[in-house]
A and B are shown apart, each in its own frame.
Chain A
């Protein structure tokens, strides 16, 4: 299942790092962070609970940029 969320990310470099971090989260097949449109697109594994996965992704992203926010 693919879903797209709004993400607040300040720099292009951070967005690339967040994409890397999001791809490491459990339950994620593939994640892309689009700095230009300020969107994160996540392809969840079938068994995953999107809410829980997104919470995990947000935690990982905050490690990169503490004032990052994802709206899910």
Chain B
């Protein structure tokens, strides 16, 4: 609770006690009407004086239509009615003001609290850096003052303030704040580390490579903060609505105060002015659109915060809204659904065992730096053993041969096999096939292919359940594309596309049957997919941490390259939009109901205030639910 809130709360309690005391006094003692009026009016000014003051200031500054003026008119009106009708019912005016202030207090409290818990979610920037001086002493400084190239120390448990490279120490770092990934990562000398990560166990020294403002954590925070200024359609609707709503209700109130009495007079009845003015004043109390104005942006903010916590950066409320309507999700293949790195996916030995085949092949590839030989060496990590390798020879476009422990090993494509005279045969699997021959005799083959990410299949099945269609675009061959599509259960695919073809394909999808595909989201790795990201209704860049171009082109950025984040992002957006809709219907519905009941004289000013404050509180609490999303 801020000091301002505390002061206001005390004021509200004191005013409530005074009002209760006055009610009792009025009940048991016979007090002169004017003295009673003075007493009630004193309490009224005590609790609502600032509202009246603000109302006058609003008029002076040319901004008359705000809730302060409406409350002032309603309560002062109620006072006048009580005074002139001689009923002495001053309680109502004071109580209405009291409820209004209580509601306002609660609004500030609830909004402040939820705002704080959401900003805490995103609080990934530490406010100091330990800079190492020349004498080795550490001093805490404002990270903004640290120049690139400085040496900073990060103790266990601290957050890394600025991007850089580790120059001493080894540790385990928790990247969950950036990526949502809960498994900690090892980091040692020479590794690049990003700000926002937590150093878990060892003291490390980092040579900073960027300024604080350019560091990952600052950039992410800036993106999230800016996100809520890109207004969604719902927010724009509410702004427009509240602009029309308040004057409309005020006009209706005036009509209600004047038309029925006039009609009554014309038709020969009594005017009953006070009855209709009272009902009109009730209208004014309900005329504040606060519940909508506050809860809609709060829902979006909570949704963006909750996505941020999962490593999903949404660059604006508007994108959250579009994402929730996705009907087709288009994927790039390499790097998005597959790992994008080539790994050994099968070993088919002939006459020898699997391990020996891989062992010999890895040795033969020892002196080659071709990407394919890297894959083979990765598959057999203890390649550097005591075996003797010499006469290594490289045949461009064919493969390599080498003498391993005296045996001639040839590893390469079919042409190499023909060259060494080995009797090879093709493999039934898709991918790059490496044939191996030992001393001219065929020994089997190794299949190297891009492997599908662990979570891809689950991600696709979750997207299909949303429901949304899945499409894959790839530059790879038909054979590979159909294998991947079949394995993952993707609805449609297009293969053999160049980057510019992908844009054309994307446009075709958008035009198809006059946009019957609905909103199209595109997920790619962001590096060579920038044009497609920009063309899609909503572009999702994956694993874009540190790539400025991708962050620029995309609407949604996934901090790591886990495709499972896509259905999560859509899920969060759907939940958020559902909440927004609930709040819009609920708030407008209750208000309209109260307006009708008020006009009929069924609901008085008291119930009007309750409706107003109650709707606001419920809407705010409902909005905060967007912060929580269960996978």
Show the binding face of A for B, using Cβ within 8 Å: 10-13, 16-17, 32, 34-39, 41, 63-67
* Docked CA distance A36–B61 (Å): 25
Q: Which residue of B lies closest to A39 (CB)?
A: B225
Q: Across the interface, which residues of A come within 8 angstroms of B66, CB to CB?
A: 13
User: Which residue, A10, A17, A38, has most C-beta atoms of chain B within 10 A?
Assistant: A10
* Docked CA distance A65–B297 (Å): 20
Are A12 and B63 closer than 8 Å at their CB atoms? no
Q: Quick one: given A12-B293, A13-B293, are A34 and B228 in contact (CB under 8 Å)?
A: yes
Are A36 and B63 closer than 8 Å at their CB atoms? no
Q: Which residue of B lies closest to A60 (CB)?
A: B61
Q: Which residue of A lies closest to B301 (CB)?
A: A36
Residue pairs across A and B with Cβ atoms less than 8 A apart, 22 shown, are: A10-B108, A11-B107, A11-B108, A11-B293, A12-B293, A12-B298, A13-B66, A13-B290, A13-B293, A17-B63, A35-B297, A36-B228, A36-B297, A36-B298, A36-B301, A37-B119, A37-B225, A37-B228, A63-B57, A64-B61, A65-B54, A66-B54
User: Which residue, A16, A34, A36, has most C-beta atoms of chain B within 10 A?
Assistant: A36
Interface presence of B516 (CB below 8 A): no
Report A53 CB to chain B, min CB distance, Å. 19
Interface presence of B118 (CB below 8 A): yes
Interface SS of chain B: helix
Q: Across the interface, which residues of B come within 8 angstroms of A11, CB to CB?
A: 107-108, 290, 293-294
Q: Among residues 192 to 235 in chain B, which have CB atoms less than 8 Å away from a CB atom of chain A?
A: 225-226, 228-229
Interface presence of B239 (CB below 8 A): yes
Q: Which residue of B lies closest to A36 (CB)?
A: B301
Are B229 and A32 closer than 8 Å at their CB atoms? yes
Interface presence of B242 (CB below 8 A): yes
Report B350 CB to chain A, min CB distance, Å. 65
Q: Across the interface, which residues of B come within 8 angstroms of A10, CB to CB?
A: 108
Report B52 CB to chain A, min CB distance, Å. 13
Q: Given A32, A36, A63, which contacts B118 in the complex, CB threshold below 8 Å? A: A36
Report B243 CB to chain A, min CB distance, Å. 10
Are A13 and B61 closer than 8 Å at their CB atoms? no
Q: Quick one: given A11-B294, A13-B242, A13-B290, are A36 and B115 in contact (CB under 8 Å)?
A: yes
Q: How big is the B interface, by class?
A: 20 to 34
* Docked CA distance A64–B60 (Å): 11
Q: Across the interface, which residues of A come within 8 angstroms of B293, CB to CB?
A: 11-13
Q: Quick one: given A16-B239, A63-B61, are A34 and B229 in contact (CB under 8 Å)?
A: yes
Q: Across the interface, which residues of A come within 8 angstroms of B229, CB to CB?
A: 32, 34, 41
Q: Across the interface, which residues of A come within 8 angstroms of B107, CB to CB?
A: 11
Q: Across the interface, which residues of A come within 8 angstroms of B225, CB to CB?
A: 34, 37, 39
Q: Which residue of A lies closest to B225 (CB)?
A: A37
Q: Across the interface, which residues of B come within 8 angstroms of A36, CB to CB?
A: 115, 118-119, 228, 297-298, 301
Q: Across the interface, which residues of B come within 8 angstroms of A16, CB to CB?
A: 239
* Docked CA distance A29–B38 (Å): 52
Q: Across the interface, which residues of B come within 8 angstroms of A67, CB to CB?
A: 4
Q: Which residue of A lies closest to B224 (CB)?
A: A37
Q: Among residues 439 to 476 in chain B, which have CB atoms less than 8 Å away from a CB atom of chain A?
A: none
* Docked CA distance A17–B506 (Å): 41
User: Which residue, A12, A39, A67, has most C-beta atoms of chain B within 10 A?
Assistant: A12
Q: Across the interface, which residues of B come within 8 angstroms of A17, CB to CB?
A: 63
Q: Which residue of A lies closest to B62 (CB)?
A: A63
Report B617 CB to chain A, min CB distance, Å. 15
* Docked CA distance A38–B226 (Å): 12
Q: Across the interface, which residues of B come within 8 angstroms of A38, CB to CB?
A: 115
Report A34 CB to chain B, min CB distance, Å. 6
Q: Across the interface, which residues of A come within 8 angstroms of B57, CB to CB?
A: 63, 66
* Docked CA distance A63–B63 (Å): 10
Q: Which residue of B lies closest to A32 (CB)?
A: B229
* Docked CA distance A13–B194 (Å): 38
Are A12 and B297 closer than 8 Å at their CB atoms? yes
* Docked CA distance A39–B221 (Å): 13
Q: Across the interface, which residues of B come within 8 angstroms of A65, CB to CB?
A: 54
* Docked CA distance A38–B118 (Å): 12
Known: A10-B108, A36-B118. 11 other contacts (CB 8 A): A11-B108, A12-B111, A13-B242, A13-B290, A35-B297, A36-B115, A37-B228, A39-B225, A41-B226, A64-B61, A66-B54
* Docked CA distance A35–B115 (Å): 9
* Docked CA distance A37–B228 (Å): 9
* Docked CA distance A32–B26 (Å): 52
* Docked CA distance A8–B391 (Å): 75
Report B314 CB to chain A, min CB distance, Å. 14
Q: Across the interface, which residues of B come within 8 angstroms of A39, CB to CB?
A: 225
Report B302 CB to chain A, min CB distance, Å. 9
User: Which residue, A11, A35, A37, A38, has most C-beta atoms of chain B within 10 A?
Assistant: A37
Q: Across the interface, which residues of B come within 8 angstroms of A32, CB to CB?
A: 229
Report B286 CB to chain A, min CB distance, Å. 16
Report A62 CB to chain B, min CB distance, Å. 10
Q: Quick one: given A37-B225, A39-B225, are A64 and B294 in contact (CB under 8 Å)?
A: no
Report A23 CB to chain B, min CB distance, Å. 13
Report A5 CB to chain B, min CB distance, Å. 13
Q: Across the interface, which residues of A come within 8 angstroms of B54, CB to CB?
A: 65-66
Q: Among residues 97 to 146 in chain B, which have CB atoms less than 8 Å away from a CB atom of chain A?
A: 107-108, 111, 115, 118-119
* Docked CA distance A13–B294 (Å): 8
* Docked CA distance A52–B609 (Å): 43
Are A64 and B63 closer than 8 Å at their CB atoms? yes
* Docked CA distance A1–B229 (Å): 19
* Docked CA distance A56–B49 (Å): 28
* Docked CA distance A70–B225 (Å): 18
Q: Which residue of A lies closest to B302 (CB)?
A: A36
Q: Across the interface, which residues of B come within 8 angstroms of A66, CB to CB?
A: 54, 57
Q: Across the interface, which residues of A come within 8 angstroms of B301, CB to CB?
A: 36
Report A40 CB to chain B, min CB distance, Å. 11
Report A20 CB to chain B, min CB distance, Å. 10
Q: Among residues 32 to 66 in chain B, which have CB atoms less than 8 Å away from a CB atom of chain A?
A: 54, 57, 61, 63, 66
